[in-house]
């Protein structure tokens, strides 16, 4: 396996891990939504009157879509690893953009759903748990082992969040309610997190590259050592074979000399008969 293929394999394994984590996260959120809606609709008449059944169902369906997308991504990366195929960087950017957009879709859906109610204000919505998914996405982008991709995730998250803050500010319920400076600061913080994630990702990649290079150098040294030992063994084998041949030839030569010096049986029988006659 070449060095580039090893890097690509590490990237695919990280993308598979990222998809697995997000799949579990969205699955838990979806389950919590279903349980919460079932409880409120059976126990609270106020919630039942304020929230329509269509809006209540659409929320878990949105999470189901996110869960299904990440589950498909997990299976896709798993198949890519088995087939040992390379992945395009543009594809990685597209996946990052889609994943960063998940919390934005949740906030937009929630703002539309609760715009006619007094259950939650738009500023409370901007401070709600879905906004922290942006930071989770940025942290998970470090698994891509690419500084530019981490920076891209931070920029996209910051722009989408600040755009939502401006949108909520100019909506009917957002005037004098949305704390714009605080939200802009939070968006800048997302951008800073993207830069930090990129630096961490760069260090991780350098460590991975160094590890692969060290492994390849070790393999090359072992290969050279094995070839040297193999050549030495083959040379010794040739020497032993040659010595065996020399010894065998010497034995055969000595045997021929010995046979030439020793009298034959016919000669011995002839002399014995001559002695008997005397």
Tell whether the model's pLDDT for residue 55 goes beyond 80: no
From residue 226, how far is each of 81, 213, 232, 234 by CA, in Å? Answer: 31, 20, 10, 12
Question: With contact defined as beta carbons under 8 Å apart, do 63 and 26 qualify?
Answer: yes
This prediction's pTM: 0.66
For the chain, how long is the longest CA-to-CA vector? 152
Phi, psi torsion values for 135, nearest 5 degrees: -65, -35
Most confident of 59-73, 94-108, 152-166: 152-166
Per-residue pLDDT band for 192 (boundaries 50, 70, 90) equals: very high
pLDDT, residue 174, reads 47
pLDDT of residue 43: 61
Q: How many Cβ atoms sit within 10 Å of the Cβ of residue 198?
A: 23
pLDDT tens digits for range 205-246: 787 777 777 777 777 777 777 777 777 777 777 777 777 777
Q: Are 117 and 50 a contacting pair, CB within 8 Å?
A: yes
Alpha-carbon span 193 to 170, nearest angstrom: 27
Average pLDDT for residues 37-64, to the nearest whole number? Answer: 64
Residue 263: strand, helix, or coil: coil
Judge contact between 76 and 11, C-beta under 8 A.
Answer: no
């Amino acid at each position: 396996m070449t060095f580039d293929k090893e890097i690509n394999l590490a990237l695919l394994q990280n993308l598979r891990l990222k998809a697995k984590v997000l799949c579990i996260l969205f699955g838990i959120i979806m389950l919590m939504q279903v349980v919460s809606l079932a409880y409120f609709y059976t126990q609270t008449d106020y919630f039942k009157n304020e929230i329509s059944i269509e809006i209540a169902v659409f929320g878990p369906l949105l999470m189901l879509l996110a869960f299904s997308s990440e589950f498909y991504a997990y299976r896709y990366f798993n198949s890519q690893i088995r087939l040992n195929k390379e992945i395009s960087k543009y594809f990685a950017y597209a996946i990052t953009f889609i994943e960063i957009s998940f919390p934005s879709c949740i906030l937009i859906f929630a703002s539309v759903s609760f715009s006619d109610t007094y259950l939650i204000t738009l500023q409370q919505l901007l401070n709600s748990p879905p906004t922290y998914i942006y930071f989770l996405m940025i942290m998970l982008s470090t698994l891509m082992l690419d500084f530019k991709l981490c920076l891209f995730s931070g920029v996209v998250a910051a722009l989408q969040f600040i755009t939502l803050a401006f949108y909520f500010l100019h909506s009917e319920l957002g005037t004098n309610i949305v704390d714009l400076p605080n939200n802009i600061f939070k968006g800048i913080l997302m951008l800073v997190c993207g830069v930090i994630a990129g630096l961490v990702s760069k260090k991780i990649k350098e460590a991975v590259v160094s590890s692969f290079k060290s492994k390849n150098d070790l393999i090359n040294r072992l290969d050279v050592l094995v070839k040297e030992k193999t050549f030495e063994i083959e040379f010794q084998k040739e020497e032993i074979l040659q010595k065996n041949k020399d010894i065998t030839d010497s034995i055969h030569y000595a045997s021929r000399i010995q046979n030439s010096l020793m009298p034959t049986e016919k000669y011995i029988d002839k002399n014995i008969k001559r002695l008997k006659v005397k």
